[in-house]
Structure 1
Amino acid sequence: MKQIKIVTDSTVDLPQEKINDLSIHVIPLNISISGVDYIDRINLQPDEFIEKMEAAEELPKTSQPAIGQFVELYEKLTADGSEVLSIHLTGGMSGTVQTAESASKMVDGNITVIDSAFISQGLGFQVLKAAELAKEGASSEEIIKEVEKIRLKTKLYVTIDTLENLVKGGRIGRGKALIGSLLHIKPIASLTDGVYTPEANVRSYSALVRYLTKQYVQAVKGRTVQAIGIAHADALELAEKLKAALLEHTPDALIDIAYTTPIISCHTGKGAIGFAFYTD
């Protein structure tokens, strides 16, 4: 039966039950640890990844899906005349969306590829709404319009507990990391226009929670909060503290906490938090 089918990638950080219930199709990214290749969330789960990453001498490497995976899935989904909306993590952090775009041009079906400009639950907000609207029978134009609205209204912050992975990845020098470690500096960044953008440095978990809560309160003032999500890299206790602080300001909010994809924790290291929300 003709319908609109939703495709995304494994950085989406949505609960598996929602993915199943809404028939969302997920293309996994790839991870290499100490010369061994894994498929994100297929033969490597987020908690397992943290353990393997901690034990590895070198920083694990991540890579986008092969173009053939997209072509094969797109051909399968459009074979009955259905349309495909393929929504992916920001092109500022991965070539996945560009690969999806190239694959869409190799298939005869009606495929629209969207750069979410986000990752993790920021991406998840768009994918979830698209899948819900598709299930309700909305047109592709209506879905795309709503997804664009969500993108413009979303804020996403990332906090880092250890600078070690930034050193291994060549993002900062070891001397700077040593100073940061001695001062207990925890960088906070936002994802702005799809690009990782430094925002602030704090020196304690309590200061981190205060900063994020303050940003949230200022951003949602006079608006209706549509969704809030927290993702963590083996930092559930910190995620729960942030959730409690947010609930003091928005008591009726439903706040999802997820264990983030290895694609993110590979770059941030253990202890990182991702915090996303969007308003009307």
Structure 2
Amino acid sequence: MTTRIVTDSTAYLPGEVLEEHGIEVVPLHVVVGGRDHVEGRDVSAERVAAALREYTIVTTSRPTPQVFAETYQRLADEGATAIVSIHLSSQMSGTVEAARLAAAEAPVPVEVVDSETIGMAMGFAVVAAAEAAAGGADVTAILDAVRSRLQSSGVLFYVDTLEHLRRGGRIGAASALLGSALAIKPILAVRGGRIVPVEKVRTSARAVARIEAMVVEQVEQGGLAVDIAVHHLDAPVRADQIASQLRTMVPGSPTVLVVELGAVVGAHVGPGTVAIAVSPRPGDPLPDRPSPGEVSGS
């Protein structure tokens, strides 16, 4: 059997990762000033950030069931005997629904997974699926690998303003923060597929420091090695600084990717946003911390 892995453009997986693992991406759309664009093809995150700063209307839309149907048909024609299709939270987009409608008519079995998250918290699970498929795992084992990754993964993020989330209707429980939005810098998370408030601090520097500390706490409590990605929209310096900090602060000295948010998510969170996706690796325990004597060489 040959199982192919499909995701959508909000996983924000680097191009070389997609190519290496043969992962198929179905893009979402972003509309800037009334003009429709395909994420990852004809609109950049920088263009979206500029439009938001200029108060140009920016909206997003899901792929159609027809696009998914065409993708599933093409993969079947290429030899796929099964497909696992992993997508952003159904609480944030109708993408999962479109995939399921197409899956019902697909020429090969298609398992659609609602990741209940977004960005590289989903992307790392997609890669785990592709690695399992490449290793000859059957669909059940691939789904187990995906769900195991998703279950313990999370996203924490800081936004300069809640306004863009409010406009896009994605603010969820974080709407409770709107009344004091001018006085606070919110730390938010994706939990249960929704955006929820975690903490309120007074400055952006404190918000970033708190998020870094929360990541370290999460990793230490989980006891597993992790993959980490720092997402940003039009905040490369801040993202690089956070990534550098995490490489030294987080136990196990993980590799930390810096991945810019794409147009679709960027349209909802706004310029200046930084998000940290943490994905523990099941079965891969954290290495023991060296004792002070080992560190000094005595």
TM-score normalised by the chain length of structure 1: 0.91
Q: Is the 8 A contact 1:205 1:238 kept in 2?
A: no
User: Which amino acid is the alignment partner of residue 61 of structure 1?
Assistant: T
Question: Could you say which residue in structure 1 is the equivalent of 2:258?
Answer: 257
Q: Secondary structure in 2 aligned to 1:257?
A: strand
Q: Would the alpha carbon gap of residues 254 and 155 (structure 1) be closer, same or farther in structure 2, given more than 3 Å must change?
A: same
Cα RMSD (Å) of the superposition?
2.0
Question: Could you say which residue in structure 2 is the equivalent of 1:119?
Answer: 118
User: Which amino acid is the alignment partner of residue 78 of structure 1?
Assistant: A
Q: Secondary structure in 2 aligned to 1:221?
A: helix
User: Which amino acid is the alignment partner of residue 61 of structure 2?
Assistant: S
Separation (CA, whole Å) in 2 of partners of 1:168 and 1:140 = 39
Unaligned runs of 5+ in 2: 283-298
Separation (CA, whole Å) in 1 of partners of 2:32 and 2:279 = 35
Q: 1:193 Cα shift?
A: 1.1
Question: Could you say which residue in structure 1 is the equivalent of 2:23?
Answer: 24
Q: 1:56 Cα shift?
A: 4.1
User: Which amino acid is the alignment partner of residue 140 of structure 1?
Assistant: V
Deviations 1:55-102 (CA, angstroms, capped at 9, x unpaired): 3433x1100001100011111212335210000001110010111011
Q: 1:247 Cα shift?
A: 2.3
Separation (CA, whole Å) in 1 of partners of 2:199 and 2:268 = 18
User: Which amino acid is the alignment partner of residue 70 of structure 2?
Assistant: E
Over the matched positions of the two proteins, sequence identity in percent amounts to 28
Q: Is the 8 A contact 1:78 1:110 kept in 2?
A: no
Q: Is the 8 A contact 1:230 1:276 kept in 2?
A: yes
User: Which amino acid is the alignment partner of residue 244 of structure 1?
Assistant: S
Question: Could you say which residue in structure 1 is the equivalent of 2:90?
Answer: 91
Q: Is the 8 A contact 1:228 1:276 kept in 2?
A: yes
Does the alignment pair 1:55 with 2:54? yes
Separation (CA, whole Å) in 2 of partners of 1:264 and 1:137 = 33
Separation (CA, whole Å) in 2 of partners of 1:31 and 1:207 = 32
Separation (CA, whole Å) in 2 of partners of 1:177 and 1:57 = 22
1:108-257 aligned within 5 A: 108-169=107-168, 180-181=181-182, 183=183, 185-221=184-220, 223-250=223-250, 252-257=253-258
User: Which amino acid is the alignment partner of residue 106 of structure 2?
Assistant: V
Q: Would the alpha carbon gap of residues 167 and 194 (structure 1) be closer, same or farther in structure 2, given more than 3 Å must change?
A: closer
Q: Is the 8 A contact 2:29 2:61 kept in 1?
A: yes
Deviations 1:207-237 (CA, angstroms, capped at 9, x unpaired): 1122112211221115122201111011112
Does the alignment pair 1:41 with 2:40? yes
Separation (CA, whole Å) in 2 of partners of 1:179 and 1:107 = 49
Separation (CA, whole Å) in 2 of partners of 1:19 and 1:57 = 32
TM-score normalised by the chain length of structure 2: 0.86
Separation (CA, whole Å) in 1 of partners of 2:28 and 2:231 = 18
